[in-house]
Chain A
């Protein structure tokens, strides 16, 4: 089954404890991206990757890191989480569409709580 998987789905952690949220896709997509979703603010792009070893910042990259060493995986790293990073996180992947547009397939989400 074609899908984007994220782990863990739920995570409660404490301020300053490093964590990684994994994202994997089995569709051989070039483009991958991370978003956070907060009430009233919608989805905001954190980082994106156009291909292996090529990543760039989205609108809210502060406090996050990413790496793209393999096409299928795009982990999100929080080196020192803070309470304002409590949110619902989505990973997405996309093939290249017409004019390099991205019709994204989203994962099921990771609900993160930082206390």
Chain B
């Protein structure tokens, strides 16, 4: 069975204080690893897809990286508007499995 574990569960940051979120996964055949952002009361919003180990993608203050066992989402110099829950998911064939998420709070 595919498994996705995210850590930490919650992260409180000062504005400008960079940090990383971890997503560890076990999957029999990885087609892609996804990162989403979810704001309270809303549906998840797609951020990145990573396809193979060594791949990196960036969007504004976010950078996602992938190894054979885990992915990291680096938040550089975060701002209060980066506060959200970040979800990681893996796709095996046609099925997707999500982690429980990391809730990030950025204080001004």
Residues of chain A touching chain B, judged by Cβ–Cβ distance below 8 Å, are: 4, 31, 33, 35, 40-45, 48, 50, 56, 58-59, 90, 92, 97-109
Contact = CB atoms under 8 A, between A and B. Distances in A.
Given A90-B44, A99-B51, A58 B100 contact: no
6 contacts: A4-B43, A35-B98, A43-B87, A50-B94, A101-B91, A109-B42
A48 B94 contact: yes
Contact of B32 (A35, A99, A106): A99
Interface in B13-58: 31-32, 34, 41-46, 49, 51
A9 B46 CA distance: 21
Contacts of B44: 43, 90, 104, 106
A41 B100 contact: yes
Given A90-B43, A90-B44, A102 B96 contact: yes
Main secondary structure of the interface of B (DSSP, over half): strand
Interface centre among B43, B45, B49, B97 (most CB of A within 10 A): B43
Contacts of A4: 43
Contact of B43 (A58, A101, A109): A109
Contacts of A45: 95-98
Interface in B48-95: 49, 51, 87, 89, 91, 94-95
Contacts, number: 68
A104 B48 CA distance: 11
Given A99-B51, A105-B46, 14 more contacts: A35-B98, A45-B96, A58-B95, A58-B96, A59-B95, A59-B97, A90-B43, A90-B44, A100-B31, A101-B32, A101-B51, A103-B46, A103-B49, A109-B43
Interface centre among B44, B49, B101 (most CB of A within 10 A): B44
Contacts of A98: 49, 51
Contacts of B43: 4, 90, 92, 106-109
A4 B49 CA distance: 20
Rank and list the top 4 A-B pairs by shortest CB-CB distance, nearest first.
Answer: A106-B43, A101-B32, A42-B100, A43-B98
